[in-house]
Amino acid sequence: MNTLEKERIVKKNILQIFKENFDVSQTTDDEILNIKPDRELSINYAVYYESILDIFFIEDMEPESIKGTVKDTIKKVTELWPMIPNSSWEWQMQ
Protein backbone atom coordinates (compact mmCIF):
# COMPACT_ATOMS: atom_id res chain seq x y z
CA MET A 1 0.00 0.00 0.00
CA ASN A 2 1.53 3.33 -0.99
CA THR A 3 1.38 6.46 1.16
CA LEU A 4 -1.43 8.10 -0.82
CA GLU A 5 -3.64 5.02 -0.51
CA LYS A 6 -2.85 4.77 3.17
CA GLU A 7 -3.72 8.46 3.68
CA ARG A 8 -6.99 8.05 1.75
CA ILE A 9 -8.02 5.17 4.02
CA VAL A 10 -7.05 7.08 7.16
CA LYS A 11 -8.91 10.21 5.99
CA LYS A 12 -12.10 8.32 5.16
CA ASN A 13 -12.13 6.55 8.53
CA ILE A 14 -11.23 9.59 10.63
CA LEU A 15 -13.93 11.70 8.97
CA GLN A 16 -16.43 8.92 9.71
CA ILE A 17 -15.30 8.68 13.35
CA PHE A 18 -15.56 12.47 13.66
CA LYS A 19 -19.08 12.51 12.22
CA GLU A 20 -20.16 9.72 14.57
CA ASN A 21 -18.80 11.48 17.67
CA PHE A 22 -19.81 15.07 16.94
CA ASP A 23 -22.97 16.64 15.56
CA VAL A 24 -21.60 18.00 12.30
CA SER A 25 -24.37 17.05 9.89
CA GLN A 26 -24.37 20.52 8.32
CA THR A 27 -20.58 20.64 8.01
CA THR A 28 -18.66 19.73 4.84
CA ASP A 29 -15.65 17.42 4.87
CA ASP A 30 -13.39 20.38 4.01
CA GLU A 31 -14.71 22.33 6.99
CA ILE A 32 -14.25 19.31 9.27
CA LEU A 33 -10.60 18.97 8.19
CA ASN A 34 -9.85 22.38 9.73
CA ILE A 35 -11.60 21.80 13.09
CA LYS A 36 -9.48 21.36 16.23
CA PRO A 37 -11.70 19.08 18.36
CA ASP A 38 -9.80 19.65 21.62
CA ARG A 39 -10.08 23.44 21.30
CA GLU A 40 -13.23 24.14 19.28
CA LEU A 41 -15.69 21.61 20.64
CA SER A 42 -17.07 21.81 24.14
CA ILE A 43 -18.00 18.12 24.35
CA ASN A 44 -15.77 15.21 25.38
CA TYR A 45 -13.36 14.67 22.51
CA ALA A 46 -11.31 11.95 24.26
CA VAL A 47 -13.48 9.16 22.81
CA TYR A 48 -12.76 10.47 19.31
CA TYR A 49 -8.98 10.23 19.79
CA GLU A 50 -9.19 6.90 21.61
CA SER A 51 -11.26 5.45 18.77
CA ILE A 52 -8.64 6.53 16.25
CA LEU A 53 -5.83 4.97 18.26
CA ASP A 54 -7.76 1.69 18.57
CA ILE A 55 -8.87 1.41 14.95
CA PHE A 56 -5.42 2.05 13.51
CA PHE A 57 -3.58 -0.23 15.96
CA ILE A 58 -1.58 2.58 17.55
CA GLU A 59 -2.96 2.03 21.05
CA ASP A 60 0.47 2.43 22.63
CA MET A 61 0.53 6.13 21.66
CA GLU A 62 -0.91 8.90 23.80
CA PRO A 63 -3.83 10.89 22.33
CA GLU A 64 -1.66 14.01 22.55
CA SER A 65 0.53 12.58 19.79
CA ILE A 66 -2.30 12.86 17.25
CA LYS A 67 -4.05 16.03 18.43
CA GLY A 68 -4.41 19.07 16.23
CA THR A 69 -6.78 19.85 13.42
CA VAL A 70 -8.54 16.86 11.88
CA LYS A 71 -6.23 17.32 8.88
CA ASP A 72 -3.15 17.18 11.16
CA THR A 73 -4.51 14.06 12.85
CA ILE A 74 -4.87 12.35 9.47
CA LYS A 75 -1.24 13.11 8.59
CA LYS A 76 0.04 11.92 11.99
CA VAL A 77 -2.01 8.71 11.95
CA THR A 78 -0.84 7.96 8.40
CA GLU A 79 2.75 8.13 9.65
CA LEU A 80 2.10 6.12 12.82
CA TRP A 81 -0.21 3.43 11.41
CA PRO A 82 1.87 0.25 11.25
CA MET A 83 1.98 -1.74 8.08
CA ILE A 84 0.58 -5.17 8.85
CA PRO A 85 2.11 -7.77 6.50
CA ASN A 86 -1.20 -9.20 5.23
CA SER A 87 -3.03 -5.87 5.05
CA SER A 88 -1.83 -5.00 1.57
CA TRP A 89 -2.07 -6.47 -1.89
CA GLU A 90 1.62 -5.71 -2.35
CA TRP A 91 3.25 -8.89 -1.10
CA GLN A 92 5.83 -11.31 -2.35
CA MET A 93 5.89 -15.07 -2.40
CA GLN A 94 8.55 -16.53 -0.15
CB 51, CB 21: distance < 8 Å: yes
Q: What angle do CA 80, 86, 89 make, to 5 degrees?
A: 95
Using the predicted structure, report yes or no on whether residue 59 has a pLDDT greater than 90.
Answer: no
Using the predicted structure, report yes or no on whether residue 24 has a pLDDT greater than 90.
Answer: no
pLDDT at 9: 94
Using the predicted structure, report yes or no on whether residue 13 has a pLDDT greater than 80.
Answer: yes
Residue 57 — left, alpha, or beta (φ > 0 → left; ψ -120 to 50 → alpha)?
left
